[in-house]
Amino acid sequence: MNSGALAGKKIVITGVTGQVARPLAVALARDNEVFGAARFTDQTARAALEASGVHCVAIDLAAGEVADLPADADYVLNFAVAKSNDWEADLAANSGGVAYLMEHHRHAQAFLHCSSTAVYKPAGHHVFAEDGPLGDNHGVWPFLRTYSICKIAAEGTARWAAQRFALPTTIARLSVPYGDGGGWPAIHLHMMLSGNAIPVHVDAPSVYHPLHADDILAMVPRLLNVASVPATTVNWGGSEAVSIEEWCTYLAELTGIEATFEPTSHTIDSVQIDTTRMHELVGETTVPWREGMKRMAKALHPDKVK
């Protein structure tokens, strides 16, 4: 990844040890002063980030402990998410935490809040535009019962804080992020290599918009550019709609195994998004999904990819 269009800026990235923010922070740190924030429950990740030039700052969004972050940052990218499955703790970190963070950074040039397409209420193969109906999408998974509701609550808080602090804000509803470091398709590949069937919704196919880490990096500066008051809300996924069935079949072909599926109603349903607003505001994605997933498979399982 190269660092995109941002250079010479002071940037705060929360959730920096996470799947999405970590490669982003490392890439942005090449040309910017990057402050990566998390509780750092993973100290190994902290050491690796510091070795890559990211200044690590311990915060706890649930407790509102953000004072050590530089209040004069130009941009703030909020990729932190709490998924403890405890309602009080997760609402405090995800919704209250955004309020503390935006208050602390109210003088920033722009604030990017990463949301999720998990905010949409599943409706078969409905294609969701940004004004689509919201609801408990991920509650069908017992291990993520707080997720969708907390992501919706966090959006409400981000909207309020954008107005309250006159802080230009973008709320980007992320679909399926993936890259050489992992992601949902990587989990599927690991499951298939371990001989497991892939759960898919009975209402096939299960369609999403996988978004490669390179496109995430390329789009972040543009998402900051369109930050506004009131907040801009935009879907954020790959320009290509792809189903789990398609990407698993392709990953199985690459690794010479067979993809098997287990249709069930106890998994999340399709969330296909309308990318019209995204294309208007920040353009199309550039990494074709097959190319991105081949790179991912090679990076994670070099001995398995033909």
Q: In whole angstroms, how close is the CB of 65 to ligand NAP at the nearest point?
A: 8
Residue 222: exposure state from Cβ atoms within 10 A (0-12, 13-18, ≥19):
middle
Among 93, 198, 241, 278, binds ligand NAP (CB under 6 A): 93
Within 113-132, the residues that bind ligand NAP by CB under 6 A are 114, 116
Q: Which stretch binds ligand NAP (CB under 6 A): 173-181, 221-229, 245-253, 255-263?
A: 173-181
Q: Is 85 in the site for ligand NAP (CB under 6 A)?
A: no
Q: Is 77 in the site for ligand NAP (CB under 6 A)?
A: no
Among 26, 81, 149, 244, binds ligand NAP (CB under 6 A): 81
Q: Which stretch binds ligand NAP (CB under 6 A): 15-23, 67-75, 124-132, 271-279?
A: 15-23
Within 21-50, the residues that bind ligand NAP by CB under 6 A are 21, 38-42
Provide the 10 A C-beta neighbour count for residue 90.
Answer: 25
Q: Is 223 in the site for ligand NAP (CB under 6 A)?
A: no
Among 77, 174, 218, 293, binds ligand NAP (CB under 6 A): 174
Question: How many whole angstroms separate alpha carbon 82 and alpha carbon 84?
Answer: 6
Residue with tokens 């978004």: 211
Q: Is 179 in the site for ligand NAP (CB under 6 A)?
A: no
The strand ranges marked E within the chain are 10-14, 33-38, 55-58, 75-78, 110-116, 127-128, 169-174, 176-179, 182-183, 198-201, 207-208, 210-212, 232-236, 242-243, 261-264, 272-273
Among 31, 48, 52, 184, binds ligand NAP (CB under 6 A): 184
Within 141-160, the residues that bind ligand NAP by CB under 6 A are 151
